[in-house]
Structure formats: C-alpha cells, structure tokens
C-alpha cells in the first residue's frame, strides 16, 4: 500500500531504512538525500529534486533507521496527480547506497 499525499501540502514522508529486513542504523551518515521520481524502472525522471534530510526532523530516529523526507508546500503545489516513488541515498563511511524506492500516490489537493 502506498502513501497518499496532496499537492499544496507540506509533506513529511517517514521511511524506515532496512537491510535484510532489519532497521539499519544510519546515525553516522555524513549525508542522506531523497528525491521523488516518476517510476521504479530503469529510466525514471525527477519530479522533486533531491533534498537533504535532517536527523533532527520531527519523527526522525536515524539510529533506528527512521528518516523523514520533508518537502515544502511551495514545491508540491505545482505537481500533478500520479503514482511516484521516493528514492533515498545514504552516504555512510564514504560510500553511497540507494535504498529501494517507496511508492507514493500524489493527488491534487482542492483546499487552498
């Protein structure tokens, strides 16, 4: 099941990063970035450019693999309804790793 998000809203997308089915400690990461892309295939296009995640974001617990992707309303307002995917890349120990994409459903909001 995917998360439904509305255009014009501030998005706080909570994701638990796991390796081998277990929450993965990313507390020593030097950077974590996330973008929203068009599909889960081999040639996705970028819908929302990469944002840098903050370990101090409300709800985040990097030690237990919980990250929060914060995307402001000013960015989401111009989007269209579509199925999309959140792509997260972690830089840890000098190595970059990208996690499997998480599906989201973008719906056009009607309340201004």
pLDDT digits (tens, 9 = 90+) for 27-68: 999 999 999 999 999 999 999 999 999 999 999 999 999 999
- Measured at the CA of 51, the angle between CA 74 and CA 106, to 5 degrees, comes to 55
- The pTM for the full model equals 0.94
Sign of the Cα pseudo-torsion (4, 46, 53, 89, in order): positive
Q: What is the mean pLDDT of the chain?
A: 97
Predicted local distance difference test score (pLDDT) of residue 2: 85
Percent of the chain with pLDDT over 70: 100
Domain ranges of the chain: 3-107
The CATH code that applies to domain 3-107 is 2.60.40.3350
* 112 band by pLDDT with thresholds 50, 70 and 90: confident
């Amino acid at each position: 099941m995917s998360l439904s998000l509305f255009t014009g809203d501030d998005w706080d997308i909570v994701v638990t990063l796991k390796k081998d089915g277990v929450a993965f400690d990313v507390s020593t990461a030097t950077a974590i970035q996330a973008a929203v892309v068009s599909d889960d295939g081999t040639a996705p296009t970028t819908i929302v450019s990469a944002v840098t995640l903050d370990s101090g974001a409300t709800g985040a617990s990097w030690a237990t693999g919980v990250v929060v992707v914060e995307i402001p309303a000013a960015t989401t307002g111009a989007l269209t309804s579509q199925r999309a995917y959140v792509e997260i890349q972690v830089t840890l120990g000098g190595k970059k790793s990208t996690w499997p994409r998480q599906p989201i459903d973008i719906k056009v909001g009607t309340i201004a």
